[in-house]
Amino acid sequence: MDISKILAEWPFDPLTVSARIIPGEDGLKKIQMRVDLGLIQMEYEGRPDGQQPFNFESYLDYYRSLAASDKEFNLDPRMSFQLRQEGMQYYHRYLSLHQLKDYNGVIRDTRHNLDILNFIANYAGSLENMTSQQHRPYVMMMNTSAKAMLKLEEDQKAEALNILKAGIRQIKNVYINVLEDSQPDLSPEIFQLRELQHRITDDGVPTELPAMEKLEIELQMALLSENYEKAATLRDQIDRSSN
């Protein structure tokens, strides 16, 4: 069916993440995310695409079961690709959930992607591992941010600040010891968490990330995943917004 009418009623905004939760025809909640060329619909629970690979909830669970029964198990390129693709699905969902302030959902999905990165680190080749681990700081930042926001909803500012401090320390450790970056303080992930720290200590009300900062993070993620077409589009959006 032509979905032009649906898209016309929900205009795309390049400066923010547009997401909503709708009731599915099967009685289950669905998440919709508006993107430039249409929309993405995801399941709220389980794999975002609703699939159950080999009757497991996810490829991660399936490959974990194989590794548990085979001491010589290793991820081949096809398996690694399937895990990366699964991680992208969860990425789109936790990005939507963060916009919707469903922080428990963000924590759940970022935990899944961190577990994928851990599994790749243990069972994939060095090249695959090095490429995949570049995504770890961003996932950690989103996980930390969601945990801090949950504490703020409970009016526990001290706990939120402790979570942010721990998250910054852990991300620094990844940059220095895994990614071999000697200047982690310049990373956008640490910048975002420190910005949230400042808003808490200044008694400001933390809100979603400013639009320009979101675009900068999306640009970095596009470059890390070698999605240069998306990176070029994001650069154009940043340039237009700066002028």
Residue 185: predicted pLDDT: 86
3-state secondary structure of 1: coil
pLDDT digits (tens, 9 = 90+) for 138-185: 999 999 999 999 999 999 999 999 999 999 999 999 999 888 888 888
Are 210 and 196 in contact by the 8 Å Cβ rule? The answer is no
Residues β-bridged to residue 22: 30
What local confidence, expressed as pLDDT, does residue 14 receive?
A: 82
The amino acid that residue 118 corresponds to is: N
**pLDDT the model gives residue 241:** 65
For residue range 129-140, list pLDDT tens digits in order.
888 899 999 999
CA distances from 70 to 63, 66, 73, 123, 225 (A): 10, 6, 5, 12, 30
Contact yes or no for 144/193 (Cβ under 8 A) = yes
Distance CA 113, CA 141 (A): 12
d(CA 236, CA 210): 17
Pairing mode of beta strands 38-43, 29-35: antiparallel
The pLDDT > 70 percentage for the chain reads: 86
Buried b (16+ CB within 10 A) or exposed e, 170-194: bbbebbeebeebeebeebbbbbbbe
**pLDDT reading at 8 higher than 90:** yes
pTM above 0.85, yes or no: no
Are the C-beta atoms of 70 and 81 separated by less than 8 Å? Answer: no
pLDDT at residue 221 tops 80 = no
- Looking at residue 236, its pLDDT comes to 72
Q: What is the pLDDT of residues 57-88, one digit of tens each?
A: 999 999 999 999 999 999 999 999 999 999 99
Task: Answer for the pair 33, 17: CB distance below 8 angstroms, yes or no.
Answer: yes
pLDDT attached to residue 17: 87
Q: Where are any strands of DSSP class E within the chain?
A: 18-23, 29-35, 38-43
Most confident of 2-16, 106-120, 208-222: 106-120
Task: Report which of 126, 140, 119, 125 is spatially closest to residue 58, judged by C-alpha positions.
Answer: 119
